[in-house]
Structures are given as C-alpha cells and as structure tokens.
Amino acid sequence: MVRAAVVLLALLAAPTSHVIRTSGTIQHLGGWKIERDPTLRGAIRALGRPTSCRTLDGPDHAVARWRPLGVAIELRTYATPPRGRTGCTAPGSIQVDHVRVTSRSWVTSLGLRVGDPTTRLRQLYPRARRKPGSYWLVTRRGGCVGVCDTLFVTIPVLTAEVRGGKVAALYLHVGAEGD
C-alpha cells in the first residue's frame, strides 16, 4: 500500500513533457532546465521527490532515482555538505554529474527513444560520434581539465548507451559538481 502511494505521488509530480532537449548550452529534461539549477533540489522541483536516494562513498557523492520515470541522477560536490547532512538530506548542496534515462517514455527533441535501433539513431543523428558502447549525440567545445594535448576539447552533452544494436539508455553529461 505504501509503495503504491509512493508511485502515485511520483507520477503526480512527474513532468508533463518527457522531451530531452540539449545543445552546447542547454540541457532540459522535461520541464527541468538543468543549467539553471543543476542540483538535487532542482531535480526535486521538476520531477518530484525521488523514490530513493543513497550515498555512495561519502556524504558528498549520491545517486537519486525516480523509478516510475526511469531517471537516475549521480550527484557530487567538491565542497562539504552541512554538518551531519549528506547530499540526499541537503539537496541544495550537491550538484549533478550526470543524468541517466532508461524509460522509453522519454524522447529527444529529434525523436530518439530508449529501445530504438542504432540505425534510427544514425538517421536522426548522422554526425553522432561512435565510442565504445555509446554514441556522442550532442557535443560542445570546452576547456581541457587534466592532461591534454590541446587547450580545448570536445565534451559530450548527450550520449546514447547502446547494447545489442539498440539504445539502452540516454545520458546527459552535466558535470556541475565543480561549481
């Protein structure tokens, strides 16, 4: 009974649009304009309370899941959460590293869904860069962090994880944890 109530509440808070919009400067997951509030708090405002949130290797690293929506968000911060709190209990203090979407109900602005064959992916995104196990669908140029041969590098914004010739998940690479 409690599980059914949690699912119902999550569905009621679910975004009305299941469109994923991305470019070099924006990342939208339904009504959540990630670039405006790339925190767990921003996700909760747009998607409702997660069905679960757990810390991974410390209070500054967490994963929040919205199971009915097929959305999981990995969160990190280089800062320290408020004393006695974690990223799950202080949602404004932890930022989004990436969003993973596994439900077929979500669709990119060009029409790609989880479950679509890679042939459709290549039709919709003819410039997609093939990488081991994935395709980089939307990219941007950004400054190199770490050891690089060049000042600017290509950074994925939206990728498709592929398995068995089909899209298994869509990823929005946010990387806001350094902010």
Q: Tens digit of pLDDT for each residue in 99-152?
A: 999 999 999 999 999 999 999 999 999 999 999 999 999 999 888 877 888 888
Give the residue-averaged pLDDT of 10-24: 72
pLDDT tens profile 112-125: 999 999 999 999 99
Q: What share of the chain in percent tops pLDDT 90? A: 63
User: Residue 61's pLDDT band (boundaries 50, 70, 90)?
Assistant: confident
Q: Is 30 left (phi over 0), alpha (psi -120 to 50) or beta?
A: left
What is the edge-to-edge ordering of all strands in the sheet holding 19-22?
32-33, 27-29, 19-22, 107-108
Q: Give the helix/strand (H/E) hosting 67.
A: none
Question: Which two three-digit tokens encode residue 2?
Answer: 């409690």
Strand partners, 63: 54, 74
Mean pLDDT of the chain: 87
How would DSSP label each residue in 92-149? GG-EEEEEEE--TT-EETT---TT-BHHHHHHH-TTPEEETTEEEEEEEEEE--SS-S
